[in-house]
């Protein structure tokens, strides 16, 4: 940075030493503010989970809270990690927590799998992986195993009781894993950023087979009728025939951006939102596009079928109600959550629960498209 | 005849060189208007998005080594803006060379109007524009800010940042299939701050060197400005060390490489003798006044010495 000499003494005098100091401090403060504001920090997009009239939700980055239903309202139960505990810092949760009768399991962006006591919210055990956990966890109630896929490229099988690593695990892929491991019977399917879909023995962790899809696989895979549907970084939606262990569609549909949201498969149709802002309804048998709907903004959240209405939420929090058969809008207006929405909507009775990036929790009536904000009690 | 042609060509080149910043500025303004007319965001369309895609392209060419891509890209960008940077340094150098005369005029003429006239006359005779070092800097500012924004988007690393990144990539499979980018380079995770303190210290040291090289190679016209230089010499390295501790280390890597290149350009422009390395390496400058030249900044004396040395040639 070159110094600019002042040609006139009057000007130099006007800029006293104090002013220069003030200017320098101002510049430093502005630069610091800009740097802090600009540097992205993980917020997470874990959808809430409702189980036995209890709500488990991450409305603050890296914190999980539990509430019990009381009449029309909610009563605060606990928060994890508790206030003032600086030893546990999950940073953010990207996947919905697994809720069992006794424990809650959640993967943190700090790379740790946390097991929390369901009643008290206390830490039962923790297991550190080698990278951030972005993929939601998978759980096998039969064997009591928690499966965690990490950005370090490995899949870990953990004993749900004590967090110990099962023999034969972890399984290593060629790149990070951002997609939820998909458990089907004794087979665990893993979609990796290395562009392969792996089928593993869920007990031993050994590889059964794999299919090279091409580009990195980023969406949570979904299995329906012997077909796994998954989105890839080459902007295509792929289908893998599990029996044939091969790609199914001759011409996978291609969009203008990534299919990051988990597709929703209902009947013979996969509803796949895309970051280009379009929702694609794709025929499962041949990959042909039945209809498309163009939202106002990119869509990262999985759609939800509530009754006959396909609920779609875009990144800027605009909510759409679509006719699942035609893709036509069914509501008179589009409710807006007025905040970024990246988390999947979840069913809540005959309603839909929606969360936003800055801690908003909303209840949607899919029949009318009316949205109501839920205010949870403060801890 | 041949000499005349050469002179004409040299004059034309000189004129073009002088007008280059203004031409570039004009082109940028026209492009901004055209983008706004097309209904697009000019900041991202013209500055940030091209840089993001270039960076991803470099990453792919370098076989997915994003750290190397940042280094190569920084070198590339500094080379691209080299004419402007050199011009800025040369303007500063030229201003430094005439500072003794400027100070003579300031002492000699008490009437402000007359003093200003004499100063302008001096600038005309010396072929120096007092704002000559400002224009190249002004043009480079958007590039620096855009580069900073591009790096923030790319090395953010967190999933939210990748969702944002998806909106900036051009629809070329070669580019968008490369995402997510490899975040590891040497001991660094480019998406996270360097907790080993190595990179922040390196950034702090090189910022200090860069500051010292530029301030010791120019002339402080007043004690106030010298004070400011001293303040900046200490504050900037501390500030950038602090930033590097807080932001993704991919940005720190950019600052480190950029600082090294800046020191190199200073060496190239000012020459080996133009930089007082002893003063560069001293944390605190020599006293601003001497018994012989009370009130005259040391750096001004150095400029005078430089002038005399040139006069002897």
Quick check: A85 pLDDT over 70? yes
B237 and B147, same structural domain?
yes
At residue A5, the pLDDT reads: 46
Quick check: A3 pLDDT over 50? no
Structure ipTM over 0.90, yes or no: no
At residue A120, the pLDDT reads: 93
- Furthest C-alpha separation in chain B: 70
Partner-chain contact A9 B221, CB within 8 Å: yes
Task: Name every chain B residue with its beta carbon within 8 A of the beta carbon of A20.
Answer: 224-225, 227-228, 231
At residue B7, the pLDDT reads: 67
Mutate: best of A3, A151, A179, A342, partner B, most B CBs <10 A: A3
Task: Name every chain A residue with its beta carbon within 8 A of the beta carbon of B222.
Answer: 6, 9, 12-13
The CA radius of gyration of chain A, in Å to the nearest whole number, is 24
Instruction: Average the pLDDT over A138-157 and give the result.
Output: 96
Task: Name, in order, each residue with C-beta under 8 angstroms of A104's C-beta and a sequence gap of 6 or more.
Answer: A56, A64, A66, A80, A97, A98, A115, A116, A117, A118
Burial label for B208, CB within 10 Å (0-12, 13-18, 19+), is buried
Distance (Å) from the alpha carbon of A64 to chain B's nearest alpha carbon? 19
At residue B276, the pLDDT reads: 62
Highest mean pLDDT among A136-150, A332-346, B158-172, B255-269: A136-150
B104 and B118, same structural domain?
yes
Tell me which residue range forms the domain holding B129: 41-312
**B66-80 and B82-97 are packed helices; what angle lies between their axes, rounded to 10 degrees?**
50
- What are the residue boundaries of the structural domains of chain A, listed by start? 43-184, 304-379
B250 and B217, same structural domain?
yes
Asked if the C-beta of A372 comes within 8 angstroms of chain B's C-beta atoms, the answer is no
B15 and B97, same structural domain?
no
Task: Name every chain B residue with its beta carbon within 8 A of the beta carbon of A7.
Answer: 95, 102, 119, 123, 130, 221
- The CATH number corresponding to A43-184 among 3.20.20.70, 3.30.450.40, 2.40.128.630, 3.40.50.720 equals 2.40.128.630
Partner-chain contact B221 A7, CB within 8 Å: yes
At residue A317, the pLDDT reads: 95
At residue A211, the pLDDT reads: 96
At residue A31, the pLDDT reads: 58
Instruction: Average the pLDDT over A322-326 and give the result.
Output: 95
Q: Which of A90, A95, A91 is nearest to A114 (CA)?
A: A90
Return the CATH fold of A304-379. Answer: Thrombin, subunit H (2.40.10)
Mutate: best of A35, A40, A314, partner B, most B CBs <10 A: A40
Quick check: A48 pLDDT over 90? yes
Instruction: Average the pLDDT over A300-318 and give the result.
Output: 95
What phi and psi values does residue A45 have, to the nearest 5 degrees? -140, 40
Between A4, A17, A300, which is nearest B163 by CB? A300
At residue A11, the pLDDT reads: 46
Asked if the C-beta of A28 comes within 8 angstroms of chain B's C-beta atoms, the answer is yes
Task: Say which residue, B13 or A14, is predicted with more confidence.
Answer: B13
Distance (Å) from the alpha carbon of B88 to chain A's nearest alpha carbon? 8
User: B65 is written with which tokens?
Assistant: 């080594």
Asked if the C-beta of A93 comes within 8 angstroms of chain B's C-beta atoms, the answer is no
Q: What is the 3-state secondary structure (H, E, C) of chain B?
A: CHHHHHHHHHHHHHHHHHHHHHHHHHHHHHHHHHHHHCCCCHHHHHHHHHHHHHHHHHHHHCCCCHHHHHHHHHHHHHHHCHHHHHHHHHHHHHHHHCHHHHHHHHHHCCCHHHHHHHHHHHHHHHCCCCCCCHHHHHHHHHHHHHHHHHHHHHHCCCHHHHHHHCCCCCCCHHHHCCCCCCCEECCEECCCCCCCCHHHHHHHHHHHHHHHHHHHCCCCCCHHHHHHHHHHHHHHHHHHHHHHHHCCHHHHHHHHHHHHHHHHHHHHHHCCCCCCHHHHHCCCCCCCCCCCCCCCCHHHHHHHHHHHHHHHC
Task: Name every chain B residue with its beta carbon within 8 A of the beta carbon of A339.
Answer: none
B134 and B6, same structural domain?
no
Burial B23-42, CB ≥16 within 10 A → b, else e? ebeeebeeebeebeeeeeeb
B91 and B3, same structural domain?
no
Residue pLDDT, tens place only, A178-224: 999 999 999 999 999 999 999 999 999 999 999 999 789 999 999 99
Q: pLDDT under 50 in chain B at which residues?
A: 1, 288-303, 312-313
Which residues of B, range 201-240, sit inside 8 Å of A by Cβ?
210-211, 214-215, 217-222, 224-225, 227-229, 231-232, 235-236, 239
At residue A71, the pLDDT reads: 86
What phi and psi values does residue A243 have, to the nearest 5 degrees? -70, -40
Residue pLDDT, tens place only, A252-284: 999 999 999 999 999 999 999 999 999 999 999
Between A1, A2, A15, which is nearest B224 by CB? A15
At residue B103, the pLDDT reads: 79
B68 and B123, same structural domain?
yes
Asked if the C-beta of A298 comes within 8 angstroms of chain B's C-beta atoms, the answer is yes
Q: What is the 3-state secondary structure (H, E, C) of chain A?
A: CCCCCCCCHHHHHHCCHHHHHHHHHHHHHHHHHHHHHHCCCCCCCCCCEEECCEEEEEEECCEEEEEEEECCEEEEEEEECCCCCCCCCCCCECCCCEECCCEEEEEECCCEEEEEECCCCCEEEEEECCCCCCCCCEEECCCCEEEEECCCCEEEEEECCCCCECCCCCEECCCCCCCCCEEECCEEEEECCCCEEEEEECCCCCEEEEEECCCCECCCCEEECCEEEEEECCCEEEEEECCCCEECCCCCCECCCCCCCCCEEECCEEEEECCCCEEEEEECCCCCEEEEEECCCCCCCCCEEECCEEEEECCCCEEEEEECCCCCECCCCCCECCCCCCCCCEEECCEEEEECCCCCEEEEECCCCEEEECCCCCC
The total of other beta-carbon atoms located within 10 Å of residue B291's CB is 5
B69 and B30, same structural domain?
no
At residue A305, the pLDDT reads: 96
Distance (Å) from the alpha carbon of A73 to chain B's nearest alpha carbon? 31
Distance (Å) from the alpha carbon of B173 to chain A's nearest alpha carbon? 6
pTM for the model: 0.76
Burial label for A134, CB within 10 Å (0-12, 13-18, 19+), is buried
Between B112, B228, B242, which is nearest A20 by CB? B228
The whole-chain average pLDDT of chain A stands at: 89
Task: Name every chain A residue with its beta carbon within 8 A of the beta carbon of B111.
Answer: none
The total domain count for chain B is 2
Cα within 13 Å of Cα(B52), Cβ side: 30
B232 and B187, same structural domain?
yes
Task: Say which residue, B18 or A152, is predicted with more confidence.
Answer: A152
B150 and B25, same structural domain?
no
User: A367 is written with which tokens?
Assistant: 């029949």
CA distances B203 to A118, B143, B154, B252, Å, are 47, 20, 20, 7
Quick check: A36 pLDDT over 60? no
Partner-chain contact A7 B130, CB within 8 Å: yes
Quick check: A8 pLDDT over 70? no
Task: Kindly report which listed range (A91-95, A101-105, A342-346, B61-65) carries the lowest average pLDDT score.
Answer: B61-65
Partner-chain contact A315 B163, CB within 8 Å: yes
Task: Name every chain A residue with its beta carbon within 8 A of the beta carbon of B243.
Answer: 31-32, 35
Quick check: A144 pLDDT over 50? yes
B276 and B141, same structural domain?
yes
Cβ distance A309 to A330 under 8 Å? yes
B162 and B17, same structural domain?
no
Asked if the C-beta of A258 comes within 8 angstroms of chain B's C-beta atoms, the answer is yes
At residue B288, the pLDDT reads: 45
At residue A6, the pLDDT reads: 45
At residue A265, the pLDDT reads: 96
């Amino acid at each position: 940075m070159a110094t600019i000499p002042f040609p006139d003494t009057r000007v130099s005098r006007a800029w006293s030493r104090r002013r220069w100091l003030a200017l320098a401090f101002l510049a430093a403060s502005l630069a610091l503010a800009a740097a802090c504001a600009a540097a992205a920090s993980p917020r997470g997009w874990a959808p809430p989970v409702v189980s036995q009239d209890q709500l488990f939700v991450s409305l603050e980055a890296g914190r999980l809270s539990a509430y019990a239903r009381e009449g029309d309202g909610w009563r605060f139960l606990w928060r994890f990690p508790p206030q003032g505990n600086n030893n546990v810092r999950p940073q953010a949760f990207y996947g919905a927590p697994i809720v069992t009768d006794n424990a809650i399991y959640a993967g943190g962006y700090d790379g740790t799998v946390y097991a929390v006591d369901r009643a008290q919210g206390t830490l039962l055990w923790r297991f550190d992986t080698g990278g951030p956990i972005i993929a939601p966890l998978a759980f096998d109630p039969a064997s009591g195993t928690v499966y965690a896929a990490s950005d370090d490229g490995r899949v870990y099988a953990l004993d749900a009781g004590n967090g110990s690593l099962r023999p034969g695990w972890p399984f290593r892929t060629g790149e990070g894993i951002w997609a939820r491991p998909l458990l089907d019977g004794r087979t665990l399917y893993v979609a990796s950023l290395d562009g392969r879909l792996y089928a593993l023995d869920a007990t031993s962790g050994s590889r059964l087979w794999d299919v090279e899809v091409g580009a990195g696989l980023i969406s949570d895979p979904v299995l329906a009728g012997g077909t796994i549907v998954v989105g890839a970084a080459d902007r295509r939606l792929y289908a893998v025939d599990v029996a044939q262990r091969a790609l199914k569609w001759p011409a996978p549909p291609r969009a203008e951006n990534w299919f990051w949201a988990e597709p929703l498969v209902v009947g013979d149709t996969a509803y796949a939102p895309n970051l280009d802002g379009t929702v694609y309804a794709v025929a499962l048998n041949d990959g042909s596009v039945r209809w498309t709907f163009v939202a106002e903004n990119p869509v990262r959240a999985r759609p939800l079928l509530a009754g006959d209405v396909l609920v779609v939420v875009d990144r800027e929090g605009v909510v759409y109600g679509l006719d699942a058969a035609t893709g036509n809008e069914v509501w008179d207006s589009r409710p807006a959550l007025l905040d970024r929405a990246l988390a999947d909507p979840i069913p809540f009775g005959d309603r839909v629960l929606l969360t936003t990036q800055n801690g908003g929790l909303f209840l949607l009536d899919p029949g009318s498209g009316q949205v109501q904000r839920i205010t949870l009690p403060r801890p | 005849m041949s000499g005349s042609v050469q002179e004409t060509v040299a004059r034309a080149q000189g004129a073009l060189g002088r007008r280059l910043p203004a031409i570039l500025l004009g082109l940028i303004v026209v492009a901004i208007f055209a983008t706004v007319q097309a209904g697009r965001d000019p900041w991202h369309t013209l500055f940030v998005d091209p840089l993001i895609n270039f960076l991803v392209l470099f990453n792919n060419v370098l076989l997915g080594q994003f750290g190397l891509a940042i280094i190569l890209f920084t070198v590339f960008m500094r080379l691209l803006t080299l004419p402007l940077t050199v011009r800025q340094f040369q303007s500063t150098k030229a201003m430094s060379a005439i500072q003794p005369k400027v100070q003579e005029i300031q002492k000699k003429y008490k009437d402000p109007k007359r003093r200003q006239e004499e100063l302008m006359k001096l600038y005309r005779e010396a072929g120096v524009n007092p704002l000559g070092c400002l224009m190249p800097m002004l043009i480079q500012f958007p590039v620096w800010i855009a580069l900073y924004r591009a790096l923030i988007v790319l090395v953010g690393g967190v999933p939210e940042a990748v969702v944002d990144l998806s909106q900036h990539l051009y629809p070329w499979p070669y580019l968008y299939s490369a995402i997510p980018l490899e975040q590891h380079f040497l001991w660094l995770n480019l998406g996270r701050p360097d907790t080993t303190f190595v990179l922040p210290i390196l950034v702090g040291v090189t910022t200090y060197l860069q500051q010292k090289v530029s301030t010791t190679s120019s002339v402080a016209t007043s004690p106030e400005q010298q004070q400011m230089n001293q303040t900046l010499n200490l504050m900037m390295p501390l500030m950038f060390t602090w930033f590097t501790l807080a932001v993704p280390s991919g940005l720190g890597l950019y600052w480190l490489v950029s600082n090294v290149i800046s020191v190199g350009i200073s060496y190239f422009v000012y020459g080996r003798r133009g930089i007082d390395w002893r003063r560069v390496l001293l944390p605190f400058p020599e006293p601003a006044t001497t018994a012989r030249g009370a009130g005259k900044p040391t750096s001004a004396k150095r400029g005078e010495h430089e002038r005399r040395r040139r006069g002897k040639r």
